[in-house]
Structure 1
Amino acid sequence: MSPFTLYGMPHSLYTGKARSYLIKQHVDFIEMTPGHPRYGKEVLPHIGRWIIPVMVTPDGETVQDGTDIIDWFEERGQTRFSAYPETPRHLITSLIFELFGGEGMVRPAMHYRWNFDEVNKDFLEDQFGLFAMPQVAPEERLEIIRKSTGRMRKAAVMFGVTPETIPAVEEGYEELLAKLDAHFSQHPYLLGGYPTIGDYGLIASLYAHLGRDPYPAQMMKRKAPAVFRWTERMNAHGADMPEFLDHPEELLPEDTIPASLKALLETVASDYLPEIRAYTAFINDWLADNPDLPADAPVGGEKRARAIGTCRFKWKGKEFEAGVMPYRLYLLQRIQDAFDGLPEAGQASVKALLSETGLTDILTLRTTRRVARENNIEVWAA
């Protein structure tokens, strides 16, 4: 049987989530750049937009989005170890870090990629050009890519990165990095001896942008070597944890959440809940103004649109304005749906943990309509 094909790029934030999962599950796959002609022939007719990551199965099925790729294997039981823990606090904690890693950390990921040209610029221009247009001569693709990276640079503003907010972004990231380093100094993965969906969420920002681009990668190596080791571990075929002597390849016993992980949950509460409150409120107001949206309508009005407006919120004494992307509701709903499906005792245990770490609101910040994923796009549910 032919292997799976993953269309992505090393510097793509969301490709990192899918790639790490495939590596850790020992899936037989090859990675191809979307600059390959096969992407246009095999993928675009099914997806209808240029986007990565995309997986093509040996049977020709096309699956877009890192979470959907992971769930394709999970739903078929084709896993070495499930990304979804069985115990209540482990499950909800892991899903929280899936949301936070892929969405809540985009601000520092964009800042440290695009605002340090003296260190990053040559590397980024080479990588974007090489993987987008491998068949084009280096000089020609450099000219083309400089125009497109200019547009990407401006996109950082959509995530709230401005000259006024940069000090808060840097302060917040350095605090987070220190807490991540403290945790990964004690535990090889988020919840013990193998990765869960939370690790796959975190690797998105912490590898492609923050662990691979020159400036933030050097910063990570200097200030958080255990985090850098974790990024290596997340891209290794084996467990890759020899420094943890005789550590079993299993999760922490008895649904344990160690103090270092509780500290990280507190950071999610302080760093990301203000934005969740703001964008759920915006979306509810937007839905009230658009009551006649048909079921299955693309969330942005068309397949290519990801944002429906901007919201404002305060964090670290600064006012931020950021794009409202309903895809984030899809990941937020996964936390809430998992909680709703727990038995009463499990819900009580989770509530106690979230109350202790300031995250209770993550269960109640809901919108009047849900976001679903159908035919590889986000749509408004009925």
Structure 2
Amino acid sequence: MYTIHGALGSPYSMKMRALMRYRRIVHIWNHGMVAQSAALAKVKAPVIPVIEYPDGSFHNDSTPIVYDLESRHVGRSVIPPDPARAFLSHLLEDFADEWLTKAMFGYRWLENVDQLQMSRWLAFDAAKGGGRETSEAFAEQFRSRQVGRMAIVGCTAENFPLIEASTRAVLQALEDHVGDRFCLFGTRPSLAEFGIYGQLSQLGVDPTPQAMMRADFPYSFRWLLHIDDMSGIEGEWDDPSTPLAPVVNLLLKQVGLIYGPFLLANAAALEKGEETFSLEINGMPYSQGTFKYQVKCLADLRQRYAALDDKTRADLDPLLSECDCLDFLTSV
């Protein structure tokens, strides 16, 4: 049996829990400070969730785990069988993991009302008792640490207009889609839905973004609870000849507009040995510290695109070009 050592306030923990629920992979949900600390001692990068496998090994980094589970468990795959749609699903999941997470972090730690509630809730989740005074003291320490990281991860007040605009565009695309059906590539969920869900699950809890979602995107807000547990969904993949749902095009346009330039700027800065980078998108500024992991993400996306066969690339290229995604996937 698997054990997910995670947290309710961790978007990647929620992503993996929802995915494993859908895939009906038997697991234990283990959250709290003691469990997390023990699990983190078993992995190199101190991030959650940490997945304990039935053989006693420990793993983190959610996307590689998803693909490893695909190789180990037959049935209820989250990877569309059509290679073009499998690539698009992965691209959207990567966008969610690496860009939408800035909305989660920014909404949580920019405003005092969110800082206060969420630091206390996260401390409450971690401690599971121990007294309110102790819990709230830990909350203040955690709050200070997280707020202190805002600039390095790009979640500043100066950057937030761009982050918020892209978040609202994603939510509007979903709002217009989920009234017809819940999933992007058929009537069953793909990797993309779980990546998007992970980040939005936190917006659905924190005070400021929750109020925004309830007021402006009520069906996207409710959609989160459905993605959280799709174990009862059977569903089918769309036939590859079926036109893509408009939501896919709209989400890809956000990838091309923001995520591609972000990845390229980060990679260029890191290659020059620079510690920060800046760019402007739609007249809105953005700057943050350079990260090696995002360079790995860009390289992985390019490798996945290059590995597609000629016919698949020919089918995909017009869409990728229309959405301004092709250049960053093919440039070197």
- Give the TM-score taking structure 1 as reference length: 0.80
Aligned pairs, how many?
A: 331
Equivalents in 2 of 1:49, 1:99: separation in Å?
19
Equivalents in 2 of 1:155, 1:215: separation in Å?
20
**1:59 pairs with 55, 77, 96, which one?**
55
Equivalents in 2 of 1:79, 1:200: separation in Å?
18
Partner residue of 1:289? none
Moved more, 191-200 or 79-88: 79-88
SS at match of 1:319: strand
Equivalents in 2 of 1:362, 1:85: separation in Å?
23
Equivalents in 1 of 2:210, 2:191: separation in Å?
23
Partners of 2:4 and 2:29 within 8 A in 1: yes
Deviations 1:49-101 (A, max 9, x none): 5321101112211111111321221121x143222222133112111111111
Equivalents in 2 of 1:16, 1:309: separation in Å?
31
Partners of 1:25 and 1:79 within 8 A in 2: no
1:90 partner letter: R
Identity of aligned residues (%): 24
Deviations 1:112-158 (A, max 9, x none): 1122333x344313321122222532211211221221110232222
**1:259-338 mapped onto 2 (5 Å cutoff):** 259-286=246-273, 309-338=275-304
Moved more, 88-97 or 356-365: 356-365
Partners of 2:197 and 2:224 within 8 A in 1: yes
Given the alignment of the two structures, is residue 90 of structure 1 paired with residue 85 of structure 2, yes or no?
yes
SS at match of 1:80: coil
Partners of 1:158 and 1:323 within 8 A in 2: yes
Equivalents in 2 of 1:138, 1:90: separation in Å?
49
Equivalents in 2 of 1:357, 1:179: separation in Å?
14
Runs (5+) with no aligned partner, structure 1: 241-247, 287-307, 367-382
Partner residue of 2:25? 27
Partners of 1:128 and 1:145 within 8 A in 2: yes
Runs (5+) with no aligned partner, structure 2: none
Partners of 2:87 and 2:304 within 8 A in 1: yes
Deviations 1:297-333 (A, max 9, x none): xxxxxxxxxxx83221112313321122222233333
Partner residue of 2:97? 102
2:228 partner letter: N
Deviations 1:220-259 (A, max 9, x none): 122112322321121114356xxxxxxx711222253222
Equivalents in 1 of 2:322, 2:45: separation in Å?
43
Partners of 2:15 and 2:194 within 8 A in 1: yes
Equivalents in 2 of 1:229, 1:122: separation in Å?
25
SS at match of 1:59: coil
SS at match of 1:320: strand
Partner residue of 1:294? none
Partner residue of 2:16? 18
- Give the TM-score taking structure 2 as reference length: 0.91
Equivalents in 1 of 2:100, 2:320: separation in Å?
20
Equivalents in 1 of 2:270, 2:224: separation in Å?
34
Given the alignment of the two structures, is residue 250 of structure 1 paired with residue 248 of structure 2, yes or no?
no
Measured after TM superposition, the shift of residue 35 of structure 1 is 0.9
Partners of 2:18 and 2:230 within 8 A in 1: no
Deviations 1:254-276 (A, max 9, x none): 25322232122112211222211
**1:127-206 mapped onto 2 (5 Å cutoff):** 127-206=121-200
Q: Which structure dedicates a bigger proportion of its chain to helix?
A: 2
Partner residue of 1:228? 221
Distance verdict in 2 for CA 1:166–1:342, change over 3 Å: closer
1:187 partner letter: R
Distance verdict in 2 for CA 1:185–1:284, change over 3 Å: farther
Distance verdict in 2 for CA 1:221–1:251, change over 3 Å: farther
Equivalents in 1 of 2:235, 2:205: separation in Å?
27
Distance verdict in 2 for CA 1:89–1:226, change over 3 Å: farther
Equivalents in 1 of 2:105, 2:36: separation in Å?
26
Deviations 1:194-217 (A, max 9, x none): 11111122122111x212212212
